[in-house]
Amino acid sequence: MKLITIPDLKAMIRQVGIDAFLQQTLNALEDAFEHWHEFSKSPRHATHYPQGVIELMPCANRDFYSFKYVNGHPKNTQQGRLSVTAVGLLAETDSGYPLMISEMTLLTAIRTAATGALGAKHLARPESHRLAIIGTGAQAEFQLMAMQPLFPITQVTFYDPDPQAMAKFARNLTGKVDLIACTSIEQAVAEADIVITATAAKKHNQLITTDMLKPGTHINGMGGDCPGKTELDPELLTQCKIVVEYLPQSREEGEIQLMKELPVYAELWELVCGQKPGRENSEELTLFDCVGFALEDYAVLRQVYQLASDLGIGEEVELVPSLDNPKDLYGFLMSP
């Protein structure tokens, strides 16, 4: 059984290159969504606390089973800790034996960004070149980097109430794109072709209203992803063509959680498989209400398992016993 630690994953991404890695993730996601009906799916299992949420996200097809453990504790950053950490496991279904345990804090950021990009690929205007990011926390740079291969992004406007988070974002991306630090959300989104919201506060926020946006804008709503946590004005939702990942989960967790009767245009797989068109004209407002779905973790864990095998990365650890006689667990335990 393979163990992929933080240093392992950093080494893997350094060897592959972050751009190529993100492209591989996007490909893996497209492949997974194309085979949507071959997966067993369920809403994630969530345990809620006053200070945050802890979730298990399983997903499986005939060959592989995966799950992710992930938490969301917005106030962790006040103690210098991450608000989201994650660990994942990949197993083979034939035997049920686990194959790999991997860090997924970094992988969650990467697969979330790639999923956002996949949504935008089908919903944003192809010529989109002005991107706005609201919330420049741990997710923000990945979101931009996943978009860049798909759209001719020349300008990024960004806003976060935390000036240090803004400075960090600018520092990491200097020289890669034209960056405009904004003093308000209104300013950041006013001219944007694509708007990404990725904030952490667990409340019903109304960061963006319809009047702030020009026609034809696409929104990737990444941070409305938990019961009690939304980012957009409900009225704005009524103006948008809305696409989600997996409706039973998004109804509970997404931007649409407050509007149970609101029609949803499609699940993402329907666009990926060509069963429904994505954007149909240059005027419509579109929203990818992205909450994060277990299929995405499956896709990136498969990618990492393959890379780990190809590149010889990751220690083999003995987390499952190897017995001469599989019925003699007791003898195995007591042997020296």
CB of 313 to its own copies, least distance (A): 14
328 binds its own copies (CB under 8 A): yes
Site track 116-145 with its own copies (rule: CB under 8 A), x = hit: --------------------xxxxxxx---
Which x/- pattern, by CB under 8 A, does the window 22-51 give for its own copies?
------------------x-x--x-x-x-x
Which range binds its own copies by CB under 8 A, 10-18, 206-214, 261-269, 270-278? 10-18
The first and second tokens of residue 194, run together, are 């694509």
Q: Are 314 and 2 in contact (CB under 8 A)?
A: yes
In the region spanning residues 262 to 321, those forming contacts with its own copies, defined by CB under 8 A, are 317-321
Residue 140, CA distances (Å) to 48, 58, 277 in order: 25, 26, 28
225 counts as binding its own copies under rule CB under 8 A: no
- If residue 153 lies in a helix (H) or strand (E), which one and from where to where? none
Q: Could you count the other beta carbons within 10 Å of the beta carbon of residue 36?
A: 18
Task: Give 174-177's long-range contacts (Cβ < 8 A, gap of 24+).
Answer: 177/144, 177/148, 177/153
Determine phi and psi for 301, rounding to 5 degrees: -65, -40
Tokens of 141: 């740079």
Identified catalytic residue from 8, 160, 225, 233:
225
Closest contact distance (angstroms) between CB of 41 and its own copies is: 10
209 touching its own copies, by CB under 8 A: no
Between residues 54 and 247, which has the closer beta carbon with respect to its own copies?
54
Angle at CA of residue 33, ends 129 and 65, nearest 5°: 130
- Position among 16, 106, 177, 247 found at the interface with its own copies (CB under 8 A): 106
Interface with its own copies, residue 168, by CB under 8 A:
yes
Contact set for its own copies, span 63-92 (CB under 8 A)? 65, 67, 69, 71-73, 76-77, 79-83, 85, 87, 89, 91
Q: Shortest Cβ distance from residue 32 to its own copies (Å)?
A: 16
- Which residue number, 42 or 148, has a Cβ lying nearer to its own copies? 42
* Calpha distance 55→318 (Å, rounded): 26
Which runs of E-coded beta strand occur in the chain? 2-4, 45-49, 52-60, 64-72, 86-92, 98-103, 130-134, 155-159, 178-181, 194-197, 204-208, 218-221, 230-232, 240-244, 266-267, 285-289, 315-316
Whichever of 66 and 217 has its CB closer to its own copies, that residue is 66
Query: Which tokens hold the place of 199?
Result: 């904030």
- Interface of this chain with its own copies, residues 141 to 160, rule: CB under 8 A: 141-142
172 lies in the binding site for its own copies (CB under 8 A): yes
Whichever of 11 and 273 has its CB closer to its own copies, that residue is: 11
Does 15 contact its own copies by CB under 8 A? no
Q: According to the binding rule CB under 8 A, does residue 165 interact with its own copies?
A: yes
Whole-number Cα distances in Å, 215 to 119, 218, 221, 236, 237: 18, 9, 17, 12, 14
Sheet holding 266-267, edge to edge: 178-181, 155-159, 130-134, 194-197, 218-221, 285-289, 240-244, 266-267
Specify whether 225 is catalytic: yes
Binding span for its own copies by CB under 8 A among 95-103, 149-157, 219-227, 283-291: 95-103
Name the residue nearer to its own copies (CB basis): 110 or 285: 110
Q: Are 92 and 63 in contact (CB under 8 A)?
A: yes
Query: Which residues are catalytically annotated?
Result: 225
